[in-house]
């Protein structure tokens, strides 16, 4: 049978190379190299890998693809990396608002976890979180929560990339009886998932005030043996510092330094209480910092000195924390808050400019998680993890600087497409890997179970009790 003219047009000519996917966008911001936004460019994907980035007219001359996506009004950027969250806690969203950290944690969250925590809870909560993350532009998340292997299975189902920090605590929880139990479970999980390229298992000692020296020393040894990252809540509040000094005579970061935990594997989360000397320690040891501005604000925990950290050469990534304390997983919103807060805290309008904020939400997160060779920027040879943001809305017009427009004006609802390793997870705001209706139904069922048991004390009394 003779080829029709249309069929002939779709066949690659000898002068063209073949790809699986070409995305033509109004602008592409690769993040690295730092070129700003490239107008009228195309990203070329073969399999799971970026193979070219070039002006769209040249792409037409050089490439043919099975699928071509035209996004003329969009900004294409690397997928956002949420470097700290507690995904399953989406089912506790709004459970205990407007409370200080320790009241929120000890009187509400820990009791709720004691009652409801299970693998089913983690599965359904993580599915809800995964759907929210895809819809708001996150393609990779770092999770620190119970039953990490359940979270891993949901991440695989959703198509997301995940780095999962298995919790370590001194006391029993629904997941384990104590530190030795948690360390065993973490090691087993790391072994079970070591061949899965989209899942990494690390160690998640909760905080200096919940993990003693012995387990921390074992975490350090195991992390080195397994080449695994370590995530820990550190210097989150002034109260944490005061308690540590009163109990042991030293600040928590001093203790971690003495134990050898300050090193490039460590992702220290929050870090709102830092002395200049401590910032120098972080710089000298190559320790990483994860900034969670909105959770810090909502819990009145304090301000991370982000610009000081950046000026010292410290890698700073961004995370949302969990929806129980944020109350969303919106990384575009988090990036805006981080940029604005840095200016207010430093009293410098030039602190954390838009391009730096975007880098914190992408490549800096990849670097913190040990994934900078795979993701975090739109460079040839890296995994095809990217999102498209439609800037055609009236609220983002006119467009002088697409990156600044993204950081200061756009919302997560303008994310239209998401890909991880070349696989489309959302097209035109439609999820392709998850059942949104089923997720909503399950969330409603959990709400009906949990709500009657949430007899929270009034805020004034809770605040008084926390002092």
- State which residues of the chain have pLDDT below 50: 1-10, 12, 455-467
- Provide the pLDDT for residue 355: 98
Q: Which residues contact 224 (CB under 8 A, 6 or more apart)?
A: 265
* Sole residue written with tokens 């009004």: 73
For 33, the token pair is 């190299």
- Provide the pLDDT for residue 457: 41
Question: Across the strands, what pairs with 138?
Answer: 80
Cα separation, 160 vs 421, in Å, equals 9
- Provide the pLDDT for residue 460: 38
CA dihedral 188, 194, 196, 200 (to 10 degrees): 80
For 265, the token pair is 């594997």
> How many DSSP H helices and E strands does the chain contain?
19, 16
Classify 43 as helix, strand or coil.
strand
- Provide the pLDDT for residue 466: 29
Cα separation, 60 vs 192, in Å, equals 44
Instruction: Report percent pLDDT > 70 for the chain.
Output: 94
Q: What is the largest CA-CA distance in the chain?
A: 86
Assigned fold of 5-78+384-431: Urease, subunit C; domain 1 (2.30.40)
- Provide the pLDDT for residue 102: 87
- Provide the pLDDT for residue 454: 53
Q: Are strands 38-46 and 49-55 parallel, antiparallel or unpaired?
A: antiparallel
For 366, the token pair is 């990849």
Distances (CA, A) of 106 to 96, 115, 201: 11, 13, 27
Extents of the domains making up the chain:
5-78+384-431, 80-368
CATH number of 80-368: 3.20.20.140
């Amino acid at each position: 049978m003779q080829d029709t003219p249309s069929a002939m047009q779709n066949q690659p000519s000898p002068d063209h190379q073949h790809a699986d996917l070409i995305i033509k966008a109004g602008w592409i911001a690769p993040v690295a190299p730092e070129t700003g936004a490239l107008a009228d460019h195309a990203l070329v994907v073969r399999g799971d890998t970026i193979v070219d980035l070039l002006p769209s007219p040249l792409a037409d001359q050089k490439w043919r693809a099975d699928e071509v996506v035209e996004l003329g009004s969009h900004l294409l950027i690397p997928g956002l990396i949420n470097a700290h969250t507690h995904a399953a806690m989406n089912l506790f969203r709004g459970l205990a608002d407007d409370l200080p950290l320790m009241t929120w944690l000890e009187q509400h969250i820990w009791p709720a976890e004691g009652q409801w925590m299970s693998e089913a809870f983690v599965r359904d909560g993580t599915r809800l979180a995964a759907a929210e993350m895809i819809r708001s532009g996150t393609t990779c998340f770092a999770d620190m929560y119970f039953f990490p292997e359940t979270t891993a299975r949901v991440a695989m189902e959703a198509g997301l990339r995940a780095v999962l920090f298995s919790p370590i605590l001194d006391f029993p929880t629904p997941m384990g009886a104590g530190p030795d139990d948690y360390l065993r479970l973490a090691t087993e999980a790391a072994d079970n998932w070591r061949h899965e390229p989209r899942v990494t298992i690390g160690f998640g000692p909760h905080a200096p005030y919940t993990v003693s020296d012995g387990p921390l020393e074992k975490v350090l040894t195991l992390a080195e043996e397994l080449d695994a990252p370590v995530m820990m809540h550190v210097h989150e509040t002034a109260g944490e510092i005061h308690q540590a000094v009163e109990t042991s005579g030293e600040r928590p970061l001093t203790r971690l330094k003495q134990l050898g935990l300050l090193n490039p594997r460590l992702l220290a989360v929050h870090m709102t209480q830092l002395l200049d000397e401590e910032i120098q320690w972080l710089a000298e040891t190559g320790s990483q910092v994860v900034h969670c501005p909105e959770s810090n604000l909502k819990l009145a925990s304090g301000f991370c000195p982000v610009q000081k950290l950046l000026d010292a050469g410290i890698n700073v990534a961004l995370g949302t924390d969990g929806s129980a304390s944020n109350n969303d997983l919106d990384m575009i919103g988090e990036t805006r808050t981080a940029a604005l807060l840095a200016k207010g805290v430093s009293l410098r309008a030039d602190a954390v400019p838009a391009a730096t904020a975007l880098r914190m939400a992408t490549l800096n997160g990849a670097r913190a998680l040990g994934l900078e060779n795979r993701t975090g920027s739109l460079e040839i040879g890296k995994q095809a993890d990217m999102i498209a943001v439609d800037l055609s809305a009236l609220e983002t017009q006119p467009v002088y600087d697409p990156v600044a427009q993204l950081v200061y004006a756009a919302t997560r609802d303008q994310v239209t497409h998401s890909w991880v390793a070349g696989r489309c997870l959302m097209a035109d705001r439609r999820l392709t890997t998850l059942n949104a209706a089923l997720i909503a139904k399950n969330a409603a069922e959990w709400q009906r179970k949990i709500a009657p048991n949430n007899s929270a004390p009034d805020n004034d009394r809770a605040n008084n009790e926390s002092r």
